[in-house]
Amino acid sequence: MLKINQKVPDFELAVFHKNSFKKIKLSQYKNKWLIIIFYPGDFTFVCPTELRETAELYKDFQKNGAEVLSISTDSVYSHKAWHDRSPSISQIEYPMAADQTGEFSRAFGVYIEEEGVCQRATFIIDPSGLVKAMDIHDNDIGRNINEVYRKFESAKYVHDHQGEVSPASWQPGKKTIKPGIKLVGKI
């Protein structure tokens, strides 16, 4: 299982994106932030609420130098069928990856062997490919994508401002901390 500050291997994945099927490699996202959204399965109940919320923030992620990649153990054909039939999923413009073998999910430690699906999990990867944040939920508990976005902004800020750290519930424009010194920035 990958841990914080470990490098993500360069996997190749099949994706459904912009109404077509293609292969991507994680190395394509080098020098960009990558938000990986694992979800249990297509045609489910909680997943479309999270993926729709992610779609609503997708342009904000992109404006701030990040790409989003959602992943389940379903096929790209299932992703397309879901995209074609669901009003929520039809809003998605980011790549939807297929991890049918579970290899990618296993590398991240989120594969449920008995069920053949992945856990509801989020990973924030920095531009050099290091895991900076992870959040894993029981599959019955939905994520707050606004909080994922806030964590991404925090990770990006401390990455870009070496020597500063973000306190609890930090928001852009709020004070940060220089360990051993004092709070810095605007109130």
What confidence tier does 4 reach under pLDDT thresholds 50, 70, 90? very high
Q: How far apart are the first and last CA of the chain?
A: 39
Give the model confidence (pLDDT) of 148-169 as tens digits: 999 999 999 999 999 999 999 9
User: Do 176 and 185 touch, CB atoms closer than 8 A?
Assistant: yes
Q: For the chain, give every domain's residue range.
A: 12-144
Q: Is the pLDDT of residue 187 over 60?
A: no
What single DSSP character describes residue 27? G
Q: Is 40:51 a contact under the CB 8 Å cutoff?
A: no
Task: Residue 118: count other Cβ atoms within 10 Å of its Cβ.
Answer: 25
pLDDT at 180: 75
9-55 pLDDT, tens per residue? 999 999 999 999 999 999 999 999 999 999 999 999 999 999 999 99
Q: How confident is the model at residue 183 (pLDDT cuts 50, 70, 90)?
A: low
Q: What span, in angstroms and rounded, lies between the C-alpha atoms of 76 and 169? A: 36
For 111-131, how does the pLDDT look when each residue is reduced to its tens digit (9 = 90+)? 999 999 999 999 999 999 999
Cα distances from 102 to residues 24, 38, 74, 111, in angstroms, run 16, 11, 10, 6
- CATH 3.60.15.10 holds for 12-144: no
- Residues labelled as active-site residues: 47
Q: Pull the structure tokens for residue 126.
A: 């920095």
State the pLDDT at residue 182. Answer: 58
Dist CA 183 CA 164 (whole Å): 9
